Amino acid sequence: MTPAVSFRQLQVFVTVARLGTVSAAAESLSLSQSATSQALSDLERQLGVALFERPGRRLLLNELGRRMMPRAEELLEGLADFVATAREPEGALHGALSVSASATVGTYLLPGLAGRFSERHPAVDLRLKLRNTFEVITDVLRLEADLGLIEGECREPRLASEAWCEDRLVIVAAPNHPLAERKWLDDETLGEADWILRESGSGTRSVFERAMRDRNLLPKGRMELGQHEAIKQAVRAGLGLGCLSRLSVAGELERGELVALDSELSLRRTFSLVWHPERYRSPLWQAFKVFLVESMP
């Protein structure tokens, strides 16, 4: 006899898998913790299997749970589509999509793109999260984001990814910095300069440090900051050199608040799209991914 699995049980299963705790899922679904926990227990009891590992307070999908997750998401998406068909024009996109983006992409590219997509599809709820590259990959691995946008390539073997668009980092200094007049920095100068660095886990920092290592150089970090604006302020104050995406300093360079310095460092990089191959990719997910690809030159 087929187990009588309910919509609520599937909804609880998917939400707990995404958020990692019963309490977070209960808050998201506007349920009590006891009702949420009971729905999850009933689902596992009816199926006769465990779907989660329970280390400490977090609930992590086990191997079977990871296989079941996209099936459950597809069933929920199908029901949502059934309801939406009665309420919305035929073919209209709907639903929620969680997108986690690293700092440069999330600050300088994604807001405009998300705004244009939302104008075309007003029934869509795009949920944007700003992270560093390491945190984006973690979000996607934990199924807390449907899609990730990162700086550089994804080297996590459990995830799928593809190149999205290109970016270039630029070395910047305050106009009154002693090195500003040189315009060109040789290797010796690069190794001796004080640098204002992004935090560990940042894609920008990884590209910069890799470029320095390729020339057998180690940057002297005077300061480590987690935001582009904070780095630009420190560089403008003459505290050191910075290396940031040209996207993030275009305005300051145009206004003369910062100056760009050249070197032999290889500072080109690729922005990448990242997703979990076992995650259900809804029509909304596919439409947004196509939109991102087609929107970039």
pLDDT of residue 84: 60
If one counts every other C-beta atom within 10 angstroms of the C-beta of residue 113, the result is 18
- CATH 3.40.190.290 residue ranges of the chain are 99-296
pLDDT of residue 129 exceeding 80, the answer is yes
* CATH architecture, domain 7-86: Orthogonal Bundle (1.10)
Topology (CATH level 3) of domain 99-296 = D-Maltodextrin-Binding Protein; domain 2 (3.40.190)
pLDDT of residue 6: 81
- CATH 1.10.10.10 residue ranges of the chain are 7-86
Q: What is the CA radius of gyration of the chain?
A: 23
If one counts every other C-beta atom within 10 angstroms of the C-beta of residue 198, the result is 29
- Where is average pLDDT lowest: 37-46, 82-91, 120-129, 265-274? 82-91
- For the stretch 227-256, pLDDT in tens is 889 999 999 999 999 999 999 999 999 999
| Residues contacting residue 121 through CB under 8 Å, at least 6 positions apart | 92, 93, 94, 287
pLDDT of residue 146 exceeding 80, the answer is yes
pLDDT of residue 7: 82
174-192 mean pLDDT: 93
Give the pLDDT band (50/70/90) at residue 35: confident
pLDDT of residue 166 exceeding 60, the answer is yes
38-65 mean pLDDT: 88
pLDDT of residue 91: 60
pLDDT of residue 1 exceeding 60, the answer is no
pLDDT of residue 70: 86
d(CA 211, CA 214): 5
Mean pLDDT over each residue of the chain, to the nearest integer: 89
Give the pLDDT band (50/70/90) at residue 297: low
The residues that bridge with 95 in the sheet, in sequence order, are 124
pLDDT of residue 176: 94
82-99 mean pLDDT: 69
267-293 mean pLDDT: 91
| Cα dihedral across residues 212, 164, 113, 84: positive or negative | negative
3-state secondary structure of 23: helix
**Which amino acid, 246?**
R
In this prediction the pTM is 0.67
111-136 mean pLDDT: 92
- For the stretch 52-62, pLDDT in tens is 988 877 888 89
Task: Answer whether 148's CB lies under 8 Å from 140's CB.
Answer: yes
pLDDT of residue 210 exceeding 90, the answer is yes
3-15 mean pLDDT: 84
pLDDT of residue 85: 58
pLDDT of residue 2 exceeding 60, the answer is no
